[in-house]
Structure 1
Amino acid sequence: MLCPEQLTLGANQFMANTVQDWEFLTLLTNCTRLRTFSLQLNMLGGMLPISVANLSAQLELLYVGANEISGKIPFGIGNLVGLTQLQLANNQFTGSLPDTIGRLNSLQTLELQNNLVTGFMPSSLGNLTQLLNLYTHNNMFEGPLPTSLGSLQEIISATFSNNKFTGPLPKDIFNLSSLSDALDLSRNYFVGSLPPEVSGLTNLAHLYLSRNNLSGPLPNTLSNCQSLIELGLDDNSFDSSIPSSISNMRGLMLLNLTKNMLSGVIPKDASLGRLQELNIGLFSNNKFTGPLPKDIFNLSALSDVLDLSSNYFVGPLPPEVGGLTNLARLYLSQNNLSGPLPNALSNCQSLTELRLDDNSFDSSIPSSISSMRGLMLLNLTKNTLSGVIPRDLGLMGGLEELYLARNNLSGNIPKSLENVTSLYQLDLSFNHLDGKVPSWGVFSNASGFFFGGNLGLCGGISELHLPPCQPESVGHGLSKRHLTITLVTATAGIILGLSLMLVFFTMRKKSKARSTTIGGFQLMDDNYPRVTYAELVQGTSGFAADNLLGRGRYGSVYKCCLLLKNMMTTVAVKVFDLRQSGSSKSFQGECEALSKIRHRNLISLVTCCSSSDSNQNDFKAIVFEFMPNGSLDRWLHMDVHVSHQLQGLTLMKRLNIAVDIADAIDYLHNNCEPPIIHCDLKPSNILLNEDLVAHVGDFGLAKILSEPAAEQLINSKSTVGIRGTIGYVAPEYGEGGQVSSCGDVYSFGIVILELFTGMAPTHDMFRDGLTLQKHAENAFPGMLMQIADPVLLPTYVSNANSLQGGINTVEHGSNAIPSVMKVALSCSKHAPTERMCIKDAATAIHRIRDEYIKVIQNEGVVNAAYTARHFAETSRAAP
C-alpha cells in the first residue's frame, strides 16, 4: 500500500460496521509520512480500534467526526503527540475521556461535542497549553470543572454547555484573558454566585451562563467585560437589582436576563439607554417594579425583540415608546400597566408583534394603531379597554392574529375585518359586543373566530349557532314633516350627485393626461405596451384567489393572461395596496428602478398601470414577466412530501443559482448607471424561470445612487425603520447606518448560506445568540457537510455508486459546498468594511461552479445539451 501524506475519505465514501472492518488501520501504522487522516461524515460504526494509537507520531490532523462510532475513546490516543487537530465530535462515544489526552501538548483544537462521554473531565487537560478551541458541549460530563483549565493561557473559545457539571463556577477560567470568542457554561448544574473574577474576561465576545442554578446579585465587576457582544444569564436565580455599571458594556448587542429573581426599579442610573448597540433585550419573568424604563425606548438599535413581560411594572405606557422605530417584537404582557394606549405607538412601523395583554390599559383602542401595517400579531386581551373596535383595523392587510378578549368593548363587529384576508385568529370573547356577525374572511372559519360571552351577537355562518338577527322595524307611515324632509334630502342628493359626476369626468380626463408620468420620470413610452385596469381584471379573473401567486409588504402578485403584441401572454401583475403607508412611494421607486435596468438575471418589466379602479379609487400595478417555477424560498422550504421538486434542486443547480444572483447584484452595483442598491435581497424575491435560471425581483425598497457622493452619504440614513427584511438586513441598517452596496453583500451572503444549508436565518433554532452565520462558522470547515441541506447528500451517494472514479466527483462536490460557504461567510461579516465586494464574490462563485462542471463533465454526469445551453446563457452579454 502507498503511504500518502494525506488520506481523506469524504462523505459516505466508506462504511465500516464492525471492529474487523477497521483493520485497514493496521496498514497505515508504518506510514511515517502521514500528516492528515480524515474519515468524517461517513457511516462508520463499531468502536474506534486501539490500533489508532499506532498511527504515525507525526500525524497532525485526525478527523473521524460525524459517524456512528461507539464505545470508549482509546486510551492510547495520547500516543499521537504530533496532533494539532483532533475531531471526535458527532458520534456515540461513551465512557470517560482518557487522562492520556493531556500528552497531546501540541493540540490546538479538540472537538468532543455531541457524544455520550461521561465521568469527570480529566485535570490533564490543563497540560494542553497550546489549545485554542475546546468544544465539549452536549455530552454527559459530571462533577466540577478541573481548576487546571486555568492553565490554558492561549484558549480562544471553550464550550461546556448541556452537560452535568456541578459545583461553583470555575474562577480560574474567568482569569483567562485570551478568551476572545465564546465561553459557554450554560445548561449545567452550577450553583453559587457569579464571582467577581468574571472581570478577567476583558476580551470575550460571547458569555453564556443560562439554565444553571446560579444565585445572588450580579457583580459590579461584570462591567469590566467591555468586549462582550452577547450576555446570556437567563434561567437562573440571580436576585437584587441590575447593577448600574452594566452601562459600561457599550458594545452589548444581546442581553438576556429572562427567568431570574431580579427585582427593584430599573432606575435611570442603570443607564440602559447607554447600550446603543443593543438589538435584543430580554427582561421577562423577573420581579421588576416601578414605571417602565424610558431610556430603553430610545435605543434605535433595538431591532429584534424587547421583552419586559411577566414583571410588576406599573404606570402608563409612555409616549417615548414611539422611539422604537426599528423594533420587530415588543412584549409587555402580564404587568400592572394602566392608562390609555398612546398614539405614539403608531410610530413603531417595523413592529410585527405587539403583546400588551394582561394589564389594566383603559380608554379606547386608538385608531392610529391601524397605521402599523406590518403588524402580524396584536394582543390586547385582559385589559379594561372600552368603546368600539375601530373600523380602521380592517386596513391592516398583513394582520394574522388579533386578540381583544376580556375587555369592555361594545358596539358592532366592524365589517371591515372581513377584508383582512391574512387574518386567521380573531378572539373577541367576553366583551359587550352586539349586532350582526360578518360572514366572510376569518368569520367564515368557526375554529379561528372566538366570540363567547358576547350575548348580543347574532347572524354569522350557521356553524356559529348564533340566533338570527331581527329585521329592523319600519313605521307604517311617515308624517308630513318626515315626508318633506325626505323629498328635500332626495332633491339635494340628486343635485349633489350630478355635480360630483361633472367633477369626476373632469378629473378623470386630467388624470388620464398625467397617468404616464409619475414623480417626474416617464412611466411608460412607446417601448412599453399600455394596459388598462379592465384588462388586468379580466386577465386575473377579477384578481381571483386561484391566480394569487403571493403577498408582499405593499401588495399582492397575481398570475394574469394579457393580449400583448397580438399574442396571449402569461405575465405576473403586482397590485399595490394603496391603503398601506408607503405603497405609492414603493410603486414609484420600483418603476423607476426597473426602467433603468436590463440583465438576464433581473426580473423584466413588461409595463406599468396607474389609473382608477371600478370605484374610481386610485389603482397602481406593475406587470412583470412570469416565472413559472416561483420563488427560491418556495423551493428551499416547500413541503417535504413534494419529492420530485426537492430532488430537482441539485448541487449543480444551486451553484448556477448562486452565480445568477451574484451576477445580478454585481450588475446593479457596478454596471448599472446610476448604480442601484436593492435593499431587500432574500429568497422570496428571487424567482426562477422554466430552466431554473434565477431572476432578482422586487425593487420596492431599492435605492438609486443618483445623488452626488457627499449628499448621498447624508441622505442615506434610514429614517423609517429597517430598510430590508429581518434576518437578511445588514446590521448597520438596524442601527440607522448608510444604505450602501455593503448592505446588499451582507444579504447576498445570508441567501447563499440558506441556499446550501436549507435553513432560513429566522429558524427557531437561531436564538440565544446563535445565528445562521455562527452556525456555519462553528461547523467550518470539517463539519460543514453535516449542516448542508440533506437534499444534497443523496446526489453524492448516487454519483459515487454510478460512476467509475465517482469518488472524485463526490469529493469535489463536498469541497464545492465549503468553498461557497466560505465566500458567503466573508460576505456576511458584521462589519461592512470586512465584507468581500460583490465583484470578487461573483468571480469566486463562478470559479467554484466552473471547476465542479469540469469534474462532472469529465465523468459524463452532466448532459451535454444542458451544459451547452447553460454556458450559452451565462456567456450571453446583458443588453
Structure 2
Amino acid sequence: METNHAFPYLLLRLSTANTLGNETDRLALLAMRSLITQDPLKVMTSWNDSHHFCEWEGVACSRRHQRVAALNLQSKGLVGSISSHVGNLSFLRRLALFNNRFHGEFPQEVGYLFRLEYVAVTNNSFEGIIPSNISVCSNLRTLYLSSNSFVGKLPMELGSLSKLVTLVINDNNLIGGISPSLGNLSSLELLSLSDNSLPVTLGQLKSLRDFRIKIISADSNQLSGNLPSDFGLMSNIQLFLIGANQFSGPIPTSLANASTLQLFDIQNNQITGEVPVNVGKLKSLQRFLVHENNLGSGMSGDLDFITSLTNCSNLTILSIDYNSFGGVLPVSIGNFSNQLMEMYFGNNQIFGNIPKEIENLQSLTYLNFSANFITGSIPIGIGNLQNLGILVLRGNRLSGQIPSSIRNMSRLFSLHLSDNILEGPIASSLENHILQTLDLSYNNFTGTIPKKEISLSTRLIDLDLSHNLLSDSIPMEVGNLASLHSLDVSENNLTGEIPTALGMSVSLEYIYLQGNFLQGHLPSSLGSLKGLQVLDVSRNNISGEIPKNFENLLFLKNVNLSLNNLEGEVPITGIFRNASVVSVFGNYRLCGGIAALKLPKCSQSSKQGIPLALKVTLGVLLPSLLMVAVLLVIFMKKKSKAKPPSEQLPADLIRVSYNDLYKATDGFSSTNLIGVGSYGSVYKGFLQQDEGLVAVKVLNLMEHGASKTFVAECETLRAVRHRNLLKILTVCSSVDFNGNDFKALVFEFMPNGSLDSWLHPSLNGQDLTRSLNFSQRLNIAIEVASAVDYLHNHCETPIVHCDMKSSNVLLNNDMTASVGDFGLAKFLSKSISTSNKSETNSIGVRGTIGYIPPEYGMGAEVSTLGDVYSYGVLLLEIFTGKRPTDHMFKEGLTLHDFSKMALPHGVMGVVDKCMLDEETHKGASSSNGIEECLSSILRIGITCSEELVNERMDISNVLRQLHSIKDRMTKYETILIE
C-alpha cells in the first residue's frame, strides 16, 4: 500500500486548528475573501468583524463547536481564486462553489479536510490537475468537478474513496486512461466522464459492473472497444450514456438482462450488426437511442426488433436514424404504447409504404422517416395524430397528393415533405394555421400559391415551395406573413411582378425568387426589410433600375440580380461596395458600380433616362432608320466578300507598339514568362498606359495556324463582354527589332493563375499545401458555365469556344474565374447553332486531348454541344482532382467512366481528398450536405460528357442546375449555423 506522506502534516494541522479554534476559521475565511476580485451580488460585504463569522452570508457552522461546517457560495457570480487557507477549515463537510467564475488551480490543501463529504465546483474555470490528495477525504460521498479546465489524468488515488457515490468530471480536458482502481468504488452509483479526451476501452470499466452503479455517463470522449458481452450483469444500471465515442462491435444480446435499464444511449459510435430481437425484455426502458452508427445490413429483417420493442410500455423516444437499416416498416409499429412521443427513423434504407397503423400512435409529437426509399402515398389516417408537432418525410419516393386530413392536425407546426414526387395542389397543407415551417420543395406540385390560405398562415416563419411546377403570380397576401423569416419559391413557373406587399413582411431575412419568369421592376418596398440578408432574383425577366434604397440594407450579405433585364446605374455604397457578394452579370444594360464589377461607365443619358420628346422622335424615325441599316449591311457584306479575313484586324482595339511590349516585359525576359501554349508564350508585364500589370500573349508565327488564331481571338473578344470572359486590353500587330512579323494580345493580368495550377499543384511546381475548397470549386464551375452559356445563347452570333480546359480558366484576386484563349473559337449562324451543326473545321481537330468531344475525332463539325462535352470533363476534373489524361486512365477507362462507376457506391471515394480536408472542420452534418451536392454535380459532369451528342445537357440547363445546388448548399449551411 502506498505511504501517505501527508498524514503527519495533517495531524499537525488538526492540532493547530483545535488550538486556535474559531479564530483559525475566521482567518481562513478572511484569506479567502482577499482573493475575490469581483463580487457583483455583494456577498462579501457581510464578511466583516461586525458579525460573527457564522453569520456571514454563505457560511454555516456546526452547533456544538461553532466551527465552519459548510460554505454555500454557489451561483453568486464570484470571480477570483481559492486560497490555500481553505485547508484550515478542519470541520468543513460541504464545499459548494458551483456556477461562479473561480480560476487558477484547485488547492491541494482541500486534502486536509478529512470530514469533507460534498464537493461541488462545477461550472467554473479551475485549471491544472485534480489534486490527488483529495483521496485523504475518506468521508467524501459526492464529487462534482465538471465544466472546468482540469487537465492531466484522472488520479488513481480516487479509487480509495470507498464511500464515494457520485463522481462527475465531464467537460474538462482530461487525457489518458481510466485507472482500474476505480473498480474499488463499491458504493459508486453515478459515474460521468463525458466531454473529455479519455482514449480508453470499455473493458477498463468492467470492474464497475458488480457494484451499485446506476448511471454511467461517458459520452463525447475517445472511448473505444466493444460493448461487454456480459453487459446484462450490471444489474443496477439505469442510465447508460456512451454517445459520441469510438465504440465498435455489436450490441450484446445480454443487454436484455439489464432489467433496470431506463436510458440506453450509444449514439454516434461505430456499432455494427443487428439490434437484438430480445430487447423488448427491458420493461423499464424509456429511451432507446442508437442513431448514427453502422447498424443494419440494408436488407429485410433489419427491423425485426421493432416488434419486440412494442413490449416496452414505458418507451418514450426511439431513435434509429443514420444507420443502414433496411426492410419495410412492420405494421406492428402501430402497437407501441401511448407513451411513445418521438420516433426517428431517418437516413436509413427503409423501403415499402408507411403502414396505415401509424395513426394509432396518438401521443407522437415528432415523427421522422426522412431520407429513405419509402414509396406509396402518405396515409390519410396520419391526420389522426392530433399531438404531432413535427412531421418529416423528406427525401423519399412518396407520390400522390397531400392528404387533406393534415389540416386536422391542430398542433402541427413543422411539415417537411421535400424531395419526393408528390403532386397536385398545395392548398390543403397551407390550411393548418399554426404552421411555422413548411417545406414542399423538390416535388411536382402544380397550380398556384393559394391566396386565402397564405393570408391565414400568419405564424409561418419558413416557407419553401421551390423546385416545383407552380404557376401564376406570387400572391400579394404574403405581406400578411409578419413572422416570415425565409421565403423560397425559386425554380418554378411563376409569372407576374414581385408584389410590393412583400416589403410588409418585416421579419424577412432570406428571399429566393430565382429561376422563374417574373417581370416588372424590383419593388423599392424591399428596401424597408431592415433585416434582409439574402436576396436572389436571378434568372427572371426583371427590368428597370436597382432601387437606390437597397444601399441602406445594412445586414444584406448576398444579392444576386444576374441574368435579368435590369438597366441604369448600379449603386456603389452599402453591399454594392463588395463585388464578391453582389452578382449582376447578364444584365447588359447596367452600368457604373464599383470597378470590380467590370461594368461600362454610365453615359449621361443612362443616368438621366431618355427625354420624352426624343422618345417620340425615335418612335417616328426608328422604322425608317432600321430599313436604311438593313440595306447598308447588305451592301457592306457584298463589298467585303473579296477581302481575305486574315488581313482584317479589329479597328476598335487600341494598338501598342512592339517597343511598348518589349519594355513592359523587360525584353520578354524568361523571369516574366508565365505560360507556354500551342501557339505562343505568355509574359507578365507592366504597361505604362494606365493598365498596370498585364498578361502579354506573344504568337509564335512560325507555328502553322498561329496567324489565324490571332485574328480569331481578336474578333471573338471584340464581340463579347462578360465578367467571366478574359478581357482583352489591347493588341499589337507590328514587326520586331529584326524586321520580323510580330503579333501579340494584351489581357488583364490574373494574379492567381490558371485553374489547372490549383487543381494539380504537384504537376505545376506550385505550393502543395494550397487547394480549393468545395465552395470555391462550385463557384468556379458556375462562373465557367455562365461564360459558356453567354457564348452559346446570349451573343448576337453564337460562339463555340472549342478549347475548354482547366489551363484556359484563369483566376483573379478574389478567385473569380474567367475563360480565356479564344484562338480556336468559331462563330456559328443561328440556324447552325440550333441544329447543333457548324461550318467545316479550318484548323484540324479543335481542342486538347482529353477534352475533345469524340465526334470531332471522327470528322464531325464543331457545335455548342462539343463545348458541353469539354465542360463536362472539366467539371469532373474540378471535383475529382484528376486530369482526363491521368496515368490511371488507360485500357479504355476514362474520367467519365471513373466518375460514373462511383455513383452507386458513394462519391466520397473518388472526389478530391484536398477538397474534403478543407471541409473537415465543418463536421459530419456539413459533410452529409456536401456529399449530396457532390453526387448531383458529378451526375451533371457525366451527362455533359456522354459520348452520344443527343444525350448531353444544354449549357443553360447545366447553369440552372448548378445554381440550384449552390442555393441548396447555402441554405443547408445557414441552417447548421443557426
* 1:14-39 CA distance string (max 9 Å, x none): 76549xx52652x35xx3x5544445
Counterpart residue number, 1:106: 236
Counterpart-to-counterpart distance in 2, 1:351 and 1:110: 41
Query: Secondary structure of the residue that 2:271 maps to in structure 1?
Result: strand
Q: What is the distance in 1 between the residues matched to 2:357 and 2:609? A: 78
Partner residue in 2 for 1:258:
394
**Cα distance in 1 for residues equivalent to 2:217 and 2:471:** 56
Distance of 1:41 and 1:459 partners within structure 2: 55
Cα shift at 1:315: 1.2
Q: CA deviation at 1:2?
A: 6.0
Given the alignment, which residue of 416, 423, 439 partners 1:282? 416
Is the 2:527–2:549 contact (alpha carbons within 8 Å) kept by the matching residues of 1? yes
Instruction: Please state how far the C-alpha of 1:214 moved relative to its aligned partner.
Output: 1.0
The aligned counterpart of 1:233 is 369
SS in structure 2 at match of 1:192: coil
Q: How does 1:551-570 map to 2 (within 5 A)?
A: none
Q: Do the aligned partners of residues 467 and 204 (structure 1) sit closer, same or farther apart at CA in structure 2, a change above 3 Å counting? A: same
Structure with greater Cα Rg: 2
Match of 1:310 in 2: 442
Cα offset for 1:91? 2.7
**Other-structure match for 2:201:** 72
Counterpart of 1:215 (choices 338, 344, 351) is 351
1:342 aligns with 2:475: yes
Checking the alignment, whether the CA contact within 8 Å between 1:307 and 1:331 is kept in structure 2 is yes
Mapped to 2, the partners of 1:64 and 1:474 lie a distance apart of: 72
Can you list the C-alpha shifts for 1:743-763, whole angstroms capped at 9, x where unaligned? Answer: xxxxxxxxxxxxxxxxxxxxx
Q: Deviations over 1:322-365 (max 9, x none)?
A: 22211111111111111111122211111121111110101222
Instruction: Map Cα deviations across residues 356-388 of structure 1 (whole Å, 9 max, x no partner).
Output: 111010122222222222212211111111222
Match of 1:439 in 2: 572
**Residue 474 and residue 237 in structure 1: after superposition, are their counterparts in 2 closer, same or farther (change >3 A)?**
closer
Structure-2 change in CA distance of 1:154 and 1:412 (3 Å) = same
Asked whether 1:191 is paired with 2:326, we answer yes
- What amino acid does structure 2 have at the position aligned with 1:68? S
User: For structure 2, which runs of at least 5 residues remain unmatched after alignment?
Assistant: 1-135, 615-921, 927-978
Corresponding residue for residue 136 of structure 1: 266
RMSD (Å), alpha carbons: 3.1
In structure 2, give the amino acid aligned to 1:285.
D
1:399 aligns with 2:528: no
Corresponding residue to 1:375 among 501, 508, 517: 508
What displacement does 1:289 show?
Answer: 1.1
* Counterpart selection for 1:148 from 260, 278, 292: 278
Matched residues in 2 for 1:69 and 1:311: separation?
47
Cα deviations across residues 88-107 of structure 1 (Å, max 9, x unaligned)? 33332221111232112222
For the residue of structure 2 that corresponds to 1:457, the secondary structure is strand
Is the 1:131–1:155 contact (alpha carbons within 8 Å) kept by the matching residues of 2?
yes
CA distance in 2, matches of 1:72, 1:151: 27
Deviation of 1:255 (Å): 0.9
The separation in 1 between residues aligned to 2:332 and 2:208, in whole angstroms, is 33
Q: Is the 8 A contact 1:44 1:69 kept in 2?
A: yes
The residue number in structure 2 matching 1:356 is 489
Q: Does 1:459 align with 2:592?
A: yes
Partner of 2:310: 175
Q: CA deviation at 1:297?
A: 1.4
Contact 1:5 1:36 in 2 (8 A): no
In 1: Cα distance, 2:264 partner to 2:199 partner: 21
CA distance in 2: counterparts of 1:295 and 1:105, whole angstroms: 52
Contact persistence 1:436–1:457 (CA under 8 A): yes
Q: Decide whether aligned partners of structure 1 residues 328 and 477 sit closer, same or farther in structure 2, where only a CA change above 3 A counts.
A: closer
Distance 1:82 1:432 in 2: 75
Contact 1:48/1:73 (8 A) holds in 2: no
Tell me the distance in 2 between the aligned counterparts of 1:161 and 1:397: 41
Does 1:83 pair with 2:217?
no
Letter in 1 for 2:526: L
Q: Give me the whole-angstrom Cα distance separating, in 1, the residues matched to 2:361 and 2:215.
A: 30
Note the C-alpha offset of 1:127.
Answer: 0.7
Measure the CA separation in 1 of the matches of 2:156 and 2:225: 20
Structure 1 residue 183, shift from structure 2 partner: 1.3
One-letter identity of the residue aligned with 1:443: F
Matched letter for residue 435 of structure 2: L
Higher relative contact order (CA 8 A, sep 6+): 1
CA 1:454–1:198 in 2, change beyond 3 Å: closer, same or farther? Answer: same
Deviations 1:406-464 (A, max 9, x none): 11122333334334343342222211222333333333332332221122222333433
- Taking the aligned partners of 1:209 and 1:92, their CA distance within structure 2 comes to 26
TM-superposed deviation, 1:55: 3.7
- What runs of 5+ residues in structure 1 fail to find an aligned partner? 480-763, 769-879
Matched, 1:329 2:329: no
Q: In structure 2, what is the Cα distance between the partners aligned to 1:477 and 1:425? A: 36
Tell me the distance in 2 between the aligned counterparts of 1:82 and 1:478.
Answer: 96
In 2, distance between residues paired with 1:183 and 1:108? 17
Measure the CA separation in 2 of the matches of 1:286 and 1:476.
53
Residue pair 2:403, 2:428 contacting (<8 A) in 1 also: no
Shift of 1:66: 3.7
Cα offsets for 1:823-851 (capped at 9, x unmatched): xxxxxxxxxxxxxxxxxxxxxxxxxxxxx
- Partner residue of 1:641? none
- CA-to-aligned-CA distance 1:83-124 (integer Å, 9 cap, x gap): 222233333222111123211222211122222111111111
SS of the residue corresponding to residue 313 of structure 2 reads: coil
Kept in 2, the 8 Å contact 1:174–1:197? The answer is no
Residue in 2 that maps onto 1:785 = none
Cα deviations across residues 792-842 of structure 1 (Å, max 9, x unaligned)? xxxxxxxxxxxxxxxxxxxxxxxxxxxxxxxxxxxxxxxxxxxxxxxxxxx
In structure 2, C-alpha distance between the alignment counterparts of 1:122 and 1:330, rounded to whole Å: 45
Contact 2:280 2:312 in 1 (8 A): no
Q: Structure 1 counterpart of 2:197, which letter?
A: E
Once residues 495 and 149 of structure 2 are traced to their aligned partners in structure 1, the CA distance between those partners, rounded to angstroms, is 67
Cα distance in 2 between the residues matched to 1:240 and 1:385: 35
User: What is the distance in 1 between the residues matched to 2:352 and 2:598?
Assistant: 56
Distance 1:407 1:157 in 2: 50
Structure 2: how far apart are the matches of 1:278 and 1:8? 44
Query: Structure 2 CA distance, aligned partners of 1:78 and 1:186?
Result: 30
| Per-residue Cα deviation, 1:254-274 (whole angstroms, up to 9, x for no partner) | 111111111112232xx1111
SS of equivalent to 2:256: helix
Q: Is the 8 A contact 2:158 2:181 kept in 1?
A: no
The count of residues paired between Structure 1 and Structure 2 equals: 473
Task: Tell me how far apart the structure 2 counterparts of residues 309 and 358 of structure 1 sit (CA, whole Å).
Answer: 10
Residues 207, 462 of structure 1: alpha-carbon distance in 2 compared, 3 angstrom cutoff: same
Corresponding residue SS for 1:345: helix
The percent of aligned pairs where both chains have the same amino acid is 32
Contact 1:281 1:306 in 2 (8 A): yes
CA 1:471–1:206 in 2, change beyond 3 Å: closer, same or farther? same
Matched residue of 1:149: which SS? helix
Is contact 2:467-2:490 (8 Å) kept?
yes
Alpha-carbon spacing, 1:398–1:84, altered in 2? closer, same or farther (3 Å): closer
Q: Is 1:427 aligned to 2:560, yes or no?
A: yes
The alpha-carbon deviation at position 5 of structure 1 amounts to: 6.1
Q: In the alignment, what sits opposite 2:542?
A: 409
Out of 410-419 and 207-216, give the one that drifted further: 410-419
Q: Aligned in 2, Cα 1:141/1:420: closer, same or farther, shift over 3 Å?
A: closer
- Asked whether 1:96 is paired with 2:226, we answer yes
